Structure 1
């Protein structure tokens, strides 16, 4: 008999709040009765009043709801702390959806997952209050020994801002059925989708399982070198130079063999992926020449202190359309895809992984695999225990996570370790961005500059995190449009039009003053130090050379015209970037350095490439390695 899943009181209350109005409509919250068929739809459900709930999205999201005894009568959603063009733009739609649904159980806005989840959580908080249910504060999990090894995660209670860990350490022996396949692909992100489709095209019998209710794809870009889009624009690369940069970026702790395998195979894989999208080549641009720099065809941006490589391709359809197209191709290829079906445990017999156990509504199902299990389970962004145990504390000094995939809890990492797999050495790196992508002048809490602002995003983020308090302020003045003109380059201007960055630097979040001394006071920094910093900067602008940090002279811009603006920022993270050590064939390696037969890892659950930081200057390497190794592993499995 399959044991029923235990539900904590906190989770029960949260689920009750999310679905409360639907239950109330059926009369179940209208009052107690011994007659199960007796309902009173008009009875009081809520305590009338106005309630406010908050939750963490990119920043703090606030939802205010007004209730009568039987209905939600008004909803206000405040997303002022979210990214204006993404989460902020979603606020009105989410507000209308909450009012229409009379519940927190609404669909999220595509591309604004973190904001959507936070709005739903805050709305559930309001409903709890109106129902008279005490809202429990999330308690942080204790970490006894955060370095050098992760503790067992199977008994950790999920906090409010956490996903639910699916991995189960205790052996499962009671199955509702056993299914025989060639390949089980665990996950339906970019790596899992590529693997499932490529395996099916090789004639393999494939089942793909996904923990969440939907597949995920976070960016409409793809990296490559000598693919047909780069050929179209005449861009060529010195691959030895690119590889040297890759090895320096990982401090030579990554596997050069794996990087070489990526170089050797990514163009074929990317061309295959482009074939699946079936778009015309003339619709594509490179990320660096998609905007105001249509003639840019150099191999990298020479102004950046770290070579910012022109490897990224802009895909001319949004991520949801990429997902829809890939899922249709996968279905057409005969792959069985099961959502809301987490893999919870690997099956190992005689030193070989022979399958995996997945959790379904009916119970546990055992998949026996003739060829192999492919882990494409993503990172562990929503497992705070593993984050604290496996990542550098300073890296976790974040404004938030941009990746809203709450199913990413490190399940693949932990179940592979349970059968003897080896992870990358701790601390694992994160993929970091500064909150402000433009290279505006920056000062720390002491009022001093601390870095060359025109650097790869990960380097700038590292510099910000290394400052006292792990934050800084970026500074502009009344001439912000002219400043943006000065710092506008192929790599700085490729993500949004100028108006977006001007608006961000002069938004309601910015501190505004008519003198530098007044601005320093509002920032809480030493006025003398800040004024001296700006004066020195302006003098170097006049001289045309930054002798302190070597910011490109042609991009320098004076700060000398009131009003002056300062906006506080921290680093923010997209995903974790440390995983299971693998061979160039994506075979997962055991702690003895040998491959574990039958087990493969691709995408963010795989490791062996990054150390210390994720290299943003090697643009779009992340999505590209997902597709490349997803495509490659099909060849390996078909040949077994």
Structure 2
């Protein structure tokens, strides 16, 4: 499929092209575009052995013209296609269990465990091989766990936290689904701790094997929630910090990341209770009977199929669709539009996750993906420099200040809307005051590990003024000995065995840096300087590459900013007075990111299938649910709204684990 500007996409009607906006206006005016019509056009249910394709698939043309509704979404192309038909002669074995879990990542493992703990028989389909599987990440978010309470954090009001998620999403989440996470995440964490044997030091706080992310000075619990520019944050993030080599090796594995270790204990317990993992299998089709799901088919390494009959339910927990360029292009409208305008090929839009096979299965069963704007893990971070997401004075390529820098969760989105070119962060000798003022948002300075911040401070103190700059360690990243590469994503169980494997590569080192693969704004170059030092502001701006009118504008903007700081009120953009620190004391520091205008899916996409409050996938017209089909992890929608803005880091993994655990209990009780 060619990379076409969406403005050129047309829908075919009697041989003439009409744009999709006019099509919708006409359809709405005549009443022909009903909710039921959306459902039928998007995802018509069909039996796995049937020959009926979805209406959207039938609407596609060889010329690549717009196909209308695909998976419940108005798309330029048919990314969905037809569900494969499995010939029973190619089935090598049939298993019958209560619960079938498609994808053994964070969500799938926790679902299998909880279903087994509640008496259900379980089969897990996992694309990775048993000897080399990994789970990605290092941070786990939970609220009101016993472990956190014992460390003096909480209990916190569930309703307040749910309200904050809803506010950050601009109302585009399901508060009930958010509440499922907030209310049950503590129990999920307690179960994780209980299943970790005494031979492991993964929860050894005294030996710095783990931390709880806190604000500067480790304030008392009365300081939370912290609030800055209207955003609230809570200390709810458990971060693994030990080396990847375990002191007590797990049988069959010489080493693994700490989070893989913790999930392995959960997997082993599920297996002890009777759950069976089918390694190197990828789910390709569902067994359908009308609008009910009866099971699935999974393709094994030899090309033969395993038929899985589910007496109770099937869970879609196979991760996101960020590695599927066609799905990203058609479903992440903002990513596609930004990048197409900047001349990028769609191959540049992909992220680090999965291929969307679980989303397709849900649509083939009659479900639909949540509507645009669809979230992706590409909206946090964006602040230049080694200091993480803290409210440094920020200027665009024209030298203009353009935002309230304390609203850290929208910094990247604001940067994307600036003229192409550099984004600059400017500070002075008192930069540490700004670092200390940061809250607990994603990518914030990691005060749970003071030595990490001190390493950055020491490196900055050793800088000499000059145009060469220096490479300063990020204070939002805890360096580890070894560890899984961010290119090797673990934990999925879906269809393309050649795709990178992974359920939720979330909240790992790249995210914590605040300068990872975000939406169009990134560091100037791998391994190059990320901070410059100068004796005067003019010299600093020159080292950063400013000249001419941009330089003069920047000098005026910094002068204006200092005036606002001394006045104690940001009457330009509303930045909190408590974090308005003037830039006037030498030495001066500056950092640069580049706004290329090219967006991508980031670490993972976060848009998922529409479900009810019990995680049961809904029919596309929302007239009811699809019997026997559930979703968790990045297959689950209505969690993040317009982007990945949450009141605590480690959220994607924590939510995947919690919703998986809740789904397992629900399915076992059917």
TM-score, normalized by length of structure 2?
A: 0.65
The answer to whether the 8 A contact 2:228-2:407 is kept is no
Shift of 1:484: 5.6
Deviation at 1:615, TM superposition (A): 2.3
Q: CA deviation at 1:538?
A: 2.5
1:238 equivalent to 2:144? Answer no
Q: Which deviates more, 205-214 or 417-426?
A: 205-214
How far did 1:535 drift? 1.4
Pick one of 567, 579, 582 that aligns with 1:555.
Answer: 579
1:354 paired with 2:305, answer: no
- With a CA cutoff of 8 Å and minimum separation of 6, indicate the structure with the bigger relative contact order: 2
Q: Does 1:148 align with 2:74?
A: yes
The CA distance in 1 between the partners of 2:571 and 2:608, in whole Å, is: 40
> Within 5 Å, which residues of 2 pair with 1:418-567?
418-431=364-377, 432-436=379-383, 437-439=388-390, 440-457=392-409, 459-469=410-420, 472-477=423-428, 479=429, 482=432, 487=437, 492-494=444-446, 496-500=452-456, 502=460, 503=472, 508-510=529-531, 515=539, 518-519=542-543, 521-522=545-546, 526-560=550-584, 561=586, 564-567=589-592
Task: State the match for 1:287 in structure 2.
Answer: 213
Task: Name the Cα RMSD after superposition.
Answer: 3.5
Query: How far apart are the structure 1 equivalents of 2:570 and 2:644?
Result: 27
2:268 corresponding residue in structure 1: 328
2:644 counterpart residue number: 614
Task: Find the counterpart in structure 2 of residue 101 from structure 1.
Answer: none
Equivalent pair of 2:297/2:308 in contact (CA under 8 Å): yes
- Deviation digits for residues 338-383 of structure 1, max 9, x if unmatched? 3332111111023211111111123122111112111101111111
Distance 1:609 1:265, change over 3 A: same
Residue 585 (1) aligns with residue 614 (2): yes
1:448-475 per-position Cα deviation (integer Å, ceiling 9, x unaligned): 1122222243x22222222233862223
Superposed displacement of residue 395, structure 1: 7.8
Residue aligning to 2:518? none
Counterpart Cα distance in 1 of 2:193 and 2:627: 32
Question: Secondary structure of the residue that 2:561 maps to in structure 1?
Answer: helix
Out of 140, 154, 158, which is 1:222 matched to? 140
Distance in 2 (CA, whole Å) between partners of 1:511 and 1:142 is 49
**Of residues 307, 311, 320 in structure 2, which corresponds to 1:366?**
307
Q: In structure 1, what is the Cα distance between the partners aligned to 2:348 and 2:265?
A: 27
Query: Helix, strand or coil: the match of 2:380?
Result: strand
1:179 corresponds to: 95
- Partner residue of 2:120 out of 204, 215, 223: 204
Indicate the SS of the match to 1:515: helix
- 4+ residue runs over 6 A deviation: 398-404
Structure 2 residue 195 is the aligned partner of structure 1 residue 269: no
Is the Cα contact below 8 Å between 2:381 and 2:408 reproduced in 1? Answer: no
User: Structure 1 residues 220 and 395 mapped into 2: Cα distance closer, same or farther (>3 Å)?
Assistant: farther
The answer (yes or no) to whether the contact 1:579–1:607 under 8 Å persists in 2 is: yes
Contact 1:347–1:356 at 8 Å: present in 2 too?
yes
2:230 aligned with 1:305: yes
Q: Which residue of 1 aligns with 2:357?
A: 411
Report deviation, 1:554.
Answer: 3.9
Q: Distance in 1 between matches of 2:111 and 2:649?
A: 22
Q: State the match for 2:179 in structure 1.
A: 260
Does the CA-based 8 Å contact 1:229-1:313 persist in structure 2? Answer: no
Deviates further, 183-192 or 568-577? 568-577
Please tell me whether the aligned partners of residues 186 and 343 of structure 1 are also in contact (alpha carbons under 8 angstroms). Answer: yes
> Any conservation in 1 of the 2:291–2:366 contact (CA below 8 Å)?
no
Distance 1:523 1:605, change over 3 A: farther
The TM-score normalised by the length of structure 1 is: 0.67
Superposed CA deviations along residues 242-269 of structure 1, whole A, max 9, x for unmatched, are 2222222233232233233334433323
**Equivalent position of 1:170 in the other structure:** 84
Contact 2:322–2:604 under 8 Å retained in 1: yes
Query: CA 1:364–1:403 in structure 2 vs 1: closer, same or farther (change >3 Å)?
Result: same
Deviation at 1:445, TM superposition (A): 1.9
